[in-house]
Amino acid sequence: MNRRMLLTRIGSLVAALAAVLVIGLPASAQGNPPSRPTSSAQPTATIGTPAQLVGRPTPTVQPSTAAPDADTTPVNAPPDASADASEFVPFWVAAFQPTSLWSDEGSTAQSLGPATVDGPLQVRQPQSGPRLSVYDPVSQTNAWIDATAVGTIGTPTADELAALANQSPSAAFEPFWVMTDQPTSLWSSPDPAATALAAIPQWRYFQVVQLPQGTRAAVLDPRTRTSGWLDLGKVGPVGAPPTEYLQSPPPDDQTLNKPARILGNADLFDHPARADYFALGRMKTNDAIIVVGAVNRPDGTWYHLDNGEYAPAANVRLPDPPAQTFAGRWIDATLTEPVIVTAYEGSTPVYAALAVKGTTAFETPTGVFHIQWRVADETMNSETLSPPIPRDGPGGYYLEHVLDTQYFTGDGASIHYNYWYANWGYAGSHGCLGMNLTDATFFWNFATVGTTVSIHN
pLDDT > 90 fraction of the chain, expressed in percent and rounded: 49
> pLDDT (tens digit, 9 = 90+) per residue, 156-167?
998 888 887 776
Q: How many other C-beta atoms can be found within 10 angstroms of the C-beta atom of residue 225?
A: 19
CA proximity to 231, closest of 247, 255, 212, 203: 212
Question: Mean pLDDT across the stretch 250-257?
Answer: 95
- Cα separation, 427 vs 79, in Å, equals 77
Residue 124 pLDDT more than 60? yes
> pLDDT (tens digit, 9 = 90+) per residue, 62-112?
333 333 343 444 444 444 444 454 689 999 999 888 888 888 888 777 777
> pLDDT (tens digit, 9 = 90+) per residue, 6-40?
434 444 444 443 443 333 333 333 334 333 333 33
- Cα separation, 405 vs 433, in Å, equals 10
> pLDDT (tens digit, 9 = 90+) per residue, 285-298?
999 999 999 999 88
In the predicted model, what is the mean pLDDT of the chain?
81
Q: How many other C-beta atoms can be found within 10 angstroms of the C-beta atom of residue 251?
A: 8
> pLDDT (tens digit, 9 = 90+) per residue, 354-403?
999 999 999 999 999 999 999 999 999 888 877 888 998 888 889 999 99
Higher-confidence position of 445 and 172: 445
Question: Mean pLDDT across the stretch 314-343?
Answer: 97
Confidence band for 3, pLDDT divided at 50, 70 and 90: very low
Q: What is the pLDDT of residue 59?
A: 33
Q: Tell me, what amino acid is at 298?
A: P
- Cα separation, 362 vs 4, in Å, equals 87
